[in-house]
Amino acid sequence: MGGWENDETVEEAAAREAVEEAGVRGDLMDFLGYYEFRSKTHQDEFSPEGLCRAAMFALFVKEELELWPEQSTRNRSWLDVSEALESLRHAWMRDALECFCKWHEDKTDNSKSESHSYNFGCVPFRYKSSNGDSSSEKIVQVLMINSPSGPGLLFPKGGWENDETVEEAAAREAVEEAGVRGDLMDFLGYYEFRSKTHQDEFSPEGLCRAAMFALFVKEELELWPEQSTRNRSWLDVSEALESLRHAWMRDALECFCKWHEDKLNEMKG
């Protein structure tokens, strides 16, 4: 685990750190989530408490190098998961390992049945003053779009292009489907659903998994690619929960609400 260089994607940074610190290469697989911690080495004027956020991925190791950059200061050990959970120094890394275990269990179950298609999307949000006064309480609103194929509202989501990161895919879908741009923030989790449009020989039941992020909206475009088939609406969270077409999107919105509450508590603390 380490820093991010400006000319690389988050996936490239994770793979590079695996080589530099542990001397291993392999297939970088799914994103496991963001994990927050504090580090004295990152304390500065911008973060006096040294707040850090680590993006963690699963890496299937295919090669162990005999020589690697940090070999003189790093020893590597292969452990069973139960041993690893007892040996990890940091609580947030135990959380990441437990997430990996759940991910791996899901992967194993899926390999016995059928594969998933992947989608990437976001919960776009903004703040509205409760009475129009900038000093009044801020109310969270989320942006919803209609579905061209039926009733109910949706969050923007869609497929992944080969030359982009998961974050870039989520941000692109927000522009294409909802016509909004902003700051893509934390990962909210993976959500599974079935889609008739994704039924094929590999997934007869159309199994899909969507990676969802929080998006703080800063710009609403007047023109956007799917404008002719998409209407967008800002709703309070309670309205959105009643209006969502799919149960898995309600789960994502509830996760967003928990994430947002935690963020506010951090700011107050």
pLDDT for 55-75, tens place per residue?
899 999 999 999 999 999 999
Which pLDDT value is given to residue 255?
A: 93
Same domain, 157 and 243: yes
Q: What is the pLDDT of residues 196-234, one digit of tens each?
A: 654 555 455 668 888 899 999 999 999 999 999 999 999
Q: 153 in a domain, yes or no?
A: yes
Residue 93 lies in a domain: no
Phi, psi of 241 (to 5 degrees): -60, -35
Q: How far apart are CA 173 and CA 119, in angstroms?
A: 10
**Looking at the DSSP assignment, which residues form a beta bridge with residue 234?**
143
**Bridging pattern class, strands 138-147 and 232-236:** antiparallel
Is residue 88 situated within a structural domain?
A: no
Instruction: Decide which of 56, 79, 102 is a domain's last residue.
Output: 79
> To which residue do tokens 């989501």 refer?
157
Specify if 3 maps to a domain. no
- Mean pLDDT computed over every residue of the chain: 85
Q: Indicate whether 111 pLDDT > 80.
A: no
Domain assignment of residue 29, yes or no: yes
The tokens 């020989």 sit on which residue?
Answer: 201
Confidence of residue 113 (pLDDT cuts 50, 70, 90): very low
Closest by CA to 214, choosing from 104, 144, 121, is 121
Q: Domain of residue 40: give its range.
A: 10-79
pLDDT tier at 194, thresholds 50, 70, 90: confident
- Domain identity same for 72 and 122: no
Residues 52 and 136 in one domain: no
Question: For residue 91, is it within any domain?
Answer: no
Q: Is 189 left (phi over 0), alpha (psi -120 to 50) or beta?
A: left
CATH number of the domain bearing residue 193: 3.90.79.10
* Pair 157, 66 in one domain: no
Percent of the chain with pLDDT over 90: 55
Phi and psi at residue 74, in whole multiples of 5°? Answer: -125, 130
252 in the same domain as 122: yes
Report d(CA 180, CA 173) in Å as an integer.
9
Residues 53 and 123 in one domain: no
Is there a single domain that holds both residue 72 and residue 133?
no
Provide the number of structural domains found in the chain. Answer: 2
